[in-house]
Copies of this chain bind each other. A is one copy, B any other.
Amino acid sequence: MSHLQLLSEFETELRKDIEASAIVRTFTSGEIIMHSGQNLRATMLVASGRVKIFREGADGGEFFMYYLNPGEACALSIMCAVRQETSKVMAQAVEDCEIWMVPFQKVSDWMRLYPSWYRFVVETYRERFEELLETLDQVAFRSLDERLEYYLHKQAKEMGSSNLSITHQQIASDMNSSREVVSRLLKKMEQRGILKLGRNVIQLSLHN
């Protein structure tokens, strides 16, 4: 089971509390875990798998924000839980996932009871806030080719490999751009030697 290694920095007491309180739900790859506008009754803790968090535009476009990996919680779901508000983002399983749903009351209680939970929650807030800030930076100050390079390296880091199996269309969706533009920019980047293109594969050069 992933329980133990997942939350190893937590006190034993807290771990027991979590296991006693959480409802475990599983999702298959591609499944939508949470719609934007959906009402939340609990906070999401990712036990296994990977969850993609993204923003939906009014016109149906989407915009990638970040991934949640095992051991991470959705900052927004914590905030919403405390206030019982509706979700502002979409969450989709990109791998088969096991999610622990923790009732919002527990989230608040544990903040006072367990120092490690308090640190965990604050750390979750901070990381996501900074990630969002970094994303905003990219969109506000950088051109598309710079953003594309950033995106690819972020993906590589996230996946732990410089061989990305991803389509141009997927990249375009994540960046709220269009497939042709992404293809062209990738081609230019290949000519500059910073990556190699293949069908469904992008191989980043290591020296960059």
Contact = CB atoms under 8 A, between A and B. Distances in A.
A125 B112 CA distance: 17
B129 A129 contact: yes
Contacts of A122: 79, 82-83
A147 B180 CA distance: 26
Interface string A160-200: 00000000000000001000000000000000000000000
A140 B177 CA distance: 10
Contacts of A111: 111-112, 118
A55 B176 contact: no
Residue among A119, A122, A137 having the largest count of chain B Cβ atoms under 10 Å: A122
B79 A129 contact: yes
A34 to B, nearest CB: 15
Given A122-B82, A125-B125, A126-B83, A58 B141 contact: yes
A82 B130 contact: no
Given A118-B112, A132-B133, A141 B176 contact: yes
A63 interface: yes
What is the size category of the interface that chain A forms with chain B? 35 or more
Given A83-B126, A111-B111, A136 B135 contact: yes
The binding surface of chain A is classed by DSSP as helix
Residue among A83, A85, A112, A141 having the largest count of chain B Cβ atoms under 10 Å: A141
Contacts of A79: 122, 125-126, 129
Contacts of A55: 133, 136-137, 140
Contacts of A88: 130, 133
Nearest to A76: B129
A87 to B, nearest CB: 11
A59 interface: yes
Interface of A: 55, 57-59, 61, 63, 75-76, 79-80, 82-83, 85, 88-89, 108, 111-112, 118-119, 122-123, 125-126, 128-130, 132-133, 135-137, 139-141, 176
11 contacts: A55-B137, A57-B141, A75-B129, A79-B126, A83-B122, A85-B126, A89-B133, A111-B111, A132-B132, A135-B136, A139-B139
